[in-house]
Amino acid sequence: MRMDTSKNFSDRLIAWQRRHGRHDLPWQNTRDPYRVWLSEIMLQQTQVATVIPYYLRFLGHFSALSDLAAAPVEDVMALWSGLGYYARARNLHHCARTVQGDHGGAFPQDPLALAGLPGIGRSTANSIATFCFDAQAPILDGNVKRVLCRAFGIEGFAASAAVEKRLWALAEELMPRHNGPLYNQAQMDLGAMVCTRSKPKCGACPLDDICVARATNRVDELPQRKPRKLVPEREATLLIVLDEQGRVLLETRPPAGIWGGLQSLPELPVTADPVSWSESRLGCRVTAVSPAPTFLHVFSHFRLRITPLVLQVTEPTMMMEPGSHWLAADELARAALPAPVRTLLTQIVGSKSLLSRKR
pLDDT digits (tens, 9 = 90+) for 118-128: 999 999 999 99
pLDDT of residue 320: 61
Tell me if the domain spanning 233-355 has CATH number 3.90.79.10.
Answer: yes
- State yes or no: is 221 an active-site residue: no
Class of domain 3-215: mainly alpha
Give the pLDDT confidence score for residue 168 in this predicted structure: 98
Taking only the tens place, the pLDDT of each residue in 183-194 is 999 999 999 999
Find the range with the poorest average confidence among 40-49, 205-214, 259-268, 342-351. Answer: 342-351
Closest to 76 measured CA to CA, from 98, 58, 101: 58
Its pTM stands at 0.83
Burial of 47 (0-12, 13-18, 19+ CB in 10 A): exposed
pLDDT of 161 > 80? The answer is yes
Share of the chain above pLDDT 90, in %: 75
Q: What are the contacts of 347-353 at 24+ separation with CB within 8 A? A: 347/292, 348/240, 348/292, 348/308, 348/310, 349/246, 349/248
Where do the structural domains in the chain lie, given as residue ranges? 3-215, 233-355
One-letter amino acid identity for 199? K
* Under 8 Å between Cβ of 141 and 47: no
Average pLDDT, stretch 148-171? 95
Q: For residue 251, report the phi and psi dihedrals to the nearest 5 degrees.
A: -130, 145
Mean pLDDT across 39-59: 96
3-state secondary structure the chain: CCHHHHHHHHHHHHHHHHHHCCCCCCCCCCCCHHHHHHHHHHCCCCCHHHHHHHHHHHHHHCCCHHHHHHCCHHHHHHHHCCCCCCHHHHHHHHHHHHHHHHCCCCCCCCHHHHHCCCCCCHHHHHHHHHHHHCCCCCCCCHHHHHHHHHHHCCCCECCCHHHHHHHHHHHHHHCCCCCHHHHHHHHHHHHHHCCCCCCCCHHHCCCHHHCHHHHCCCCCCCCECCCCCCCCEEEEEEEEEECCCCCEEEEECCCCCCCCCCEECCEECCCCCHHHHHHHHHCCEEEEEEECCCEEEECCCCEEEEEEEEEEEECCCCCCCCCEEEECHHHHHHCCCCHHHHHHHHHHHCCHHHHCCCC
- Fold: same for 3-215 and 233-355: no
**Mean pLDDT to the nearest integer, 289-297:** 93
Q: Would the CA dihedral through 184, 188, 193, 195 be positive or negative? A: positive
**C-alpha to C-alpha distance for 312 and 288, rounded to whole angstroms:** 5
pLDDT of residue 353: 39
Other CB atoms within a 10 A radius of the CB of residue 335 amount to 19
Higher-pLDDT residue of 197, 255: 197
Q: What integer pLDDT is reported at residue 86 of this predicted model?
A: 92
